[in-house]
A and B are shown apart, each in its own frame.
Chain A
Amino acid sequence: MTDRDQGTYPPTEKMLAQPVPDDVAKGQEERLRKVWAQPPGWRYWSAVNNTEVGVWYCLTATFFMLLAGILALLMRVQLAVPENDFLDADRYNQFFTMHGSAMMFLFAVPIFEAISILILPSLLGARDMPFPRLSAYGFWCFVIGGIFVMGSILFDAAPNAGWFMYPPLSTEHGGIGTDIWLLGLSFIEVASIAAAVELIVGVLKCRPPGMRVNIMPLYAWYVLVVGGMIVFAFPPLIAGDFLLEMQRSFDWPFFDPERGGDPMLWQHLFWIFGHPEVYIIFLPSIAVTAMIIPTAARRPIVGYSWIVLSAVGTGFLSFGLWVHHMFATGLPSISLGFFSAASEAVVLPTGIQIFAFVATLMVGRVRMIHPMLWIAGALAIFVAGGLTGVMVAIVPFDWQVHDTYFIVAHLHYTVFGGMLFPVIGGIYYFYPVIAKKQLSERLGRWAFWLAFTGFNVTFLPMHLTGMRGMPRRVFTYPGDLGWNWLNMISTIGAFVMATGLLIFVYDLLRPKGKQPDPPRNPWDAGTLEWTHNVPAESWGIRSIPYVNTRYPLWQQPKMQQRIDAGRYYLPDAQEGKRETLVTSVIDAHPLHVQRVTGPAWITIWAAVFTGGAFIFPTFHWYPPAIVSAVLAVACVIYWNWTSTAEIPEAETKDAGLGLRLPLYVSGPDAVGWWAVWITMLADATAFSSLVFSVFFYWTASTQFPPQGAGFANPVLMAIGTGLVVASWALTAWARRDAGRGAMAALAVAMLAACAGGGVLILALWLPDMDPTAHVYPAMMWALVVWVIVHLIAGVVLQGYCLAGLAFGKITRRYDAPLWNSLLFWHFLCLTVLVTGAMVAIAPRLMT
């Protein structure tokens, strides 16, 4: 027990065996139903429940997948015969660019987040995610960004430089396609990071009491690893986007060799994101597999620890692979050797989990439930893709097939086997939880066999097409190279596969009103999501159970009945507030009751204005972009002020089973603090990418900084840095004091931060460092601009805390916003110190 919560924990069997009187249970159910009810009518769209937002998210991602699939079919039509003129070269370029970009950014990553938002709370026996409005905000950002990026194709203005956007093609190319890609997808990446933060905090802090790390569902382990990977993999791309967009908009020559820039930097930043990305989409699907296999085998998974090892090991190793996309760029052969070695090493953890699955199936009593068909197909396809992966990880072989259809075949074998098929299997599996209906097994079999056959007919011949030398991304080819029949077969296969996938989508969307309710646990699974209510209830789970086994429905036989009776935690909503339980990170000890936010329009407005801030600059309309950004910040402030860290009506509340828990916590106990911590890790990673860029330019060229170049004014840099550090110190003091003195300290801190920012700008301005002249001043400015943007955010946070103290939203007892703001400032302080060193000191040493 901690010193704040009071009562008995863990609950005794005697307490759990005590029945709940019927009338009490009925009253509780009514109150819960009312609190968690969906807004009616058109207000439905203001819902923020994970069950609503998750479904919208999944359907939107599926919609983008279908669009990207249509692009692929059109490309296959173009390639069916040689010298075809069905599509012209430019349109073909737009199509393959958008096919890749949409499949990756608008389908593969979002569908992981969508499915996780949808099912993770029920896997963990939680009422909802910890920050429902954040999920809703992320979803609306995704919709707006997705439509913007995808819609460009209708105006013949889509990006056409490939999904990797390599300069100089992307910098020299006219038109706004590249800007749409950079700004639209950066916007979506921000939403992805928001979802990742939410999912990580959900896994760490919202598990049911008793669910220690060694018994949490494997899905949760994978979500944790993948969330962590997103936090470290997406920021380098955001940093790269920032640099590339600065070049396109303001002619800062980051990738222009004539002024000291280097296109290779983009390739590094892109693939530091791009390779982990492959595992970011692969691991969640393996996670789904890890949930289905024990159910099909009717026994617990074999080698739980081995699978955790696989997930964590793959997560780490995947960051050492990025250069294997750059084997043909002329890097020193020893560098290639390192990455080749790591690419072979990652096979170990990847293979181990597959052996664990096979072992589970071997020792279990397998029942071929329909989702298993997709999983079996997935394993077959993925193993083939993995084996060609082992081949292309070897440098000399890669040189032979680089940029040929062999690679197209390889990557599609990995993404279909490692992502699409398991996801579809997972949708069949979880559909009863999600929709309280079942998908048709007959249609499912048709869909599977058509998709599986079509897939192999399409992509198996491509290995040969590639070996025969057909390059990727060509819109047509001459008829005398021996590629004709291979391409024709691939095109036929593509349509067969599309038919299968369409049958699946039809089955997914067709009305099922007349279908009777499915059994509650149709596959006889053992995990918590199958305690769901049929027909649906919007409360998530009736009461939050005490879990001490890996497969509670198999191993704790009375659990279902006790959940339904409201025997466990939080069976009621006396105060009429949405609540879920927050537990400790390692042992899931109950810590406090978290009030979660309800339906709101403000999240949609916040998303709309955030969209404006990203989309207007595409057209170089900067004033409306700035207005949008200000309004977006205003919306987020309003949303936080009105619905987060509210001062509760009582110190503690009865959480059920005789346990009283606090209603308000701050600092490391609070989920908000964890979210800030994780977000700032992502932010620090983006900043590190900029620092990496400085060193990259230094190693890649003897002209960084160029001879005779000026340096930032060291005195001003020192003063500016010092002012920001002082602002940080005052903020830290304000957190300790949290009273009248804190208000004065915060006011001075805001002034110091503003002054510090101004002085930092002067430090570059006065020596006349022109960012368009050479990449060295541009890089120095990029670092300072980064700091300035963060200083603005830091000052807003200080102002928020100042207002909170002034209006009684923050007090010594209720001080969560102060803790969270200070955490932001810790990172900001570090950022400005590093920037000071990089701008004022490092260049002097580099010459």
Chain B
Amino acid sequence: MSHDKQTSDARQFAEESASLTRITAAPLAWAAHFALCYGAAAVWCVKWPGPIGQMLPLRVGLGVATVVALAIIGWLGWRSWQQWDLLDDYDYEHEMGVGEDRHEFLGHAAFLLSIVSFVGVFFTSLPLIFAATCR
């Protein structure tokens, strides 16, 4: 039924899809960065380590990836901060069943998740600084 019409769900998704994506986007960026680090290190250390397990190119490459991931998460955090719009009404509870509260809540949650993801990516990058070889 109504295959070609926009259903109510579809309309709501269109309205909120941006913020729904944003709520998981930052953790997904963390996951992608993490998987990249793990996978790249695993392949590098088996296939192309130097005689004593050097991995400078790997560290540089993943360092660049870290900067990119942090920039993406920072941008996501900025967008969700705008959606939360705290400075407009200082609402951090969003406890009413109205569209505005739902909208700001999704922004708030996404903002907090981008902070956690930012810290997560930062933590993940630390071994790149401290470990010089595969061993």
Determine the residue in chain B with the shortest Cβ distance to A814.
B1
Cβ of A668 and Cβ of B10 under 8 Å apart? yes
Give the docked Cα–Cα distance between A3 and B6 (Å): 9
A-B contact pairs, 30 of them (CB 8 A): A212-B99, A304-B94, A304-B95, A305-B105, A306-B112, A308-B109, A309-B116, A316-B24, A316-B30, A317-B116, A319-B31, A332-B42, A332-B134, A333-B135, A334-B41, A335-B41, A339-B38, A341-B123, A341-B124, A341-B126, A342-B120, A342-B124, A345-B123, A548-B96, A549-B95, A587-B12, A589-B12, A664-B1, A665-B1, A699-B47
Query: A308 contacts which chain B residues (CB < 8 A)?
Result: 109
Interface residue tally of chain A, by bracket? 35 or more
Cβ distance B119 to chain A, nearest Cβ, rounded Å: 6
Minimum CB distance partner of B34 in chain A: A320
Contacts of B41 in A (CB 8 A): 332, 334-335, 338
- Check B34–A342 contact: CB distance below 8 A: yes
Closest to A302 in B: B93
Binding site for A on B (CB under 8 A): 1-3, 5, 7-13, 16, 20, 23-24, 27-28, 30-31, 34, 37-38, 41-43, 45-47, 53, 55, 92-99, 101-102, 105-106, 108-109, 112-113, 116-117, 119-120, 123-128, 130-131, 133-135
Whether A584 and B8, one on each chain, are in contact in the complex, defined by CB atoms closer than 8 angstroms, is: yes
A664 CA / B42 CA spacing, docked (Å): 51
- Across-interface contacts of A309 in B (CB, < 8 A): 109, 112-113, 116
The 10 A-B residue pairs whose C-beta atoms are closest, nearest first, are A337-B127, A548-B97, A214-B105, A316-B27, A309-B112, A341-B123, A2-B8, A332-B45, A332-B134, A334-B131
Cα distance A213–B53 in the bound complex, in angstroms: 50
- Total residue contacts A-B, CB cutoff 8 A: 174
Are the C-beta atoms of B97 and A211 separated by less than 8 Å?
yes
Residues of A631-676 at the interface with B, using a CB-CB cut-off of 8 Å, are: 662, 664-669
Seed contacts A2-B8, A323-B38, A591-B7; 14 additional CB < 8 Å A-B pairs: A3-B2, A3-B5, A213-B105, A320-B120, A334-B134, A336-B127, A338-B127, A341-B125, A341-B126, A345-B124, A665-B1, A668-B7, A668-B10, A815-B1
Given the interface contacts A345-B120, A548-B97, does A584 sit within 8 Å of B105 by beta carbon?
Answer: no
Q: Is the CB of A317 within 8 A of B12?
A: no
Bound complex: CA A336 to CA B99 (Å):
45
Specify which chain B residues have a CB less than 8 angstroms from the CB of A335 in the assembled complex: 38, 41-42, 45
A344 touches B123 (CB 8 A): yes
Q: Tell me whether B38 and A585 are in contact (CB under 8 A).
A: no
Is the beta-carbon distance between A584 and B9 smaller than 8 angstroms? yes
> Which residues from B are CB-within-8-Å of A323?
38
Q: Does A700 contact B (CB under 8 A)?
A: yes
Q: CB of A210 within 8 A of chain B?
A: yes
- Whether B116 lies near A586 (C-beta < 8 A) is no
Contact at A300–B42, with CB atoms within 8 Å? no
Complex CA distance for A114 and B43, rounded to whole angstroms: 42
A428 CB to closest chain B CB, in angstroms?
27
A133 at the interface (CB under 8 A from B): no
- Distance in angstroms from B37 CB to nearest chain A CB is 5
- A210 CA to B105 CA in the complex, in Å? 15
Q: Which residues of B are found within 8 Å of A442, using beta-carbon distances?
A: none
The distance in angstroms between the C-alpha atoms of A214 and B97, with both chains bound, is: 7
**Interface residue from A3, A313, A585 paired with B27 (Cβ < 8 Å):** A313
- Residue numbers of A with Cβ under 8 A of B are 2-4, 210-215, 300, 304-306, 308-309, 312-313, 316-317, 319-320, 323, 331-342, 344-345, 348-349, 547-550, 584-587, 589, 591, 662, 664-669, 699-700, 813-815
Contact across chains for A305 and B8 when beta carbons are under 8 A apart: no
B residues near A547, Cβ cutoff 8 Å: 97
A591 touching B9, Cβ below 8 Å: yes
Q: How near does chain B come to A333, taking the closest CB pair, in angstroms? A: 5
Q: B27 near A312 (CB under 8 angstroms)?
A: yes
Alpha-carbon distance A337/B34, docked complex (angstroms): 11
Residue of A nearest to B129 (CB): A337
Partner of B8, one of A212, A304, A339, A589: A589
| Complex CA distance for A3 and B31, rounded to whole angstroms | 40
Bound-complex Cα distance A591 to B134 (A) = 56
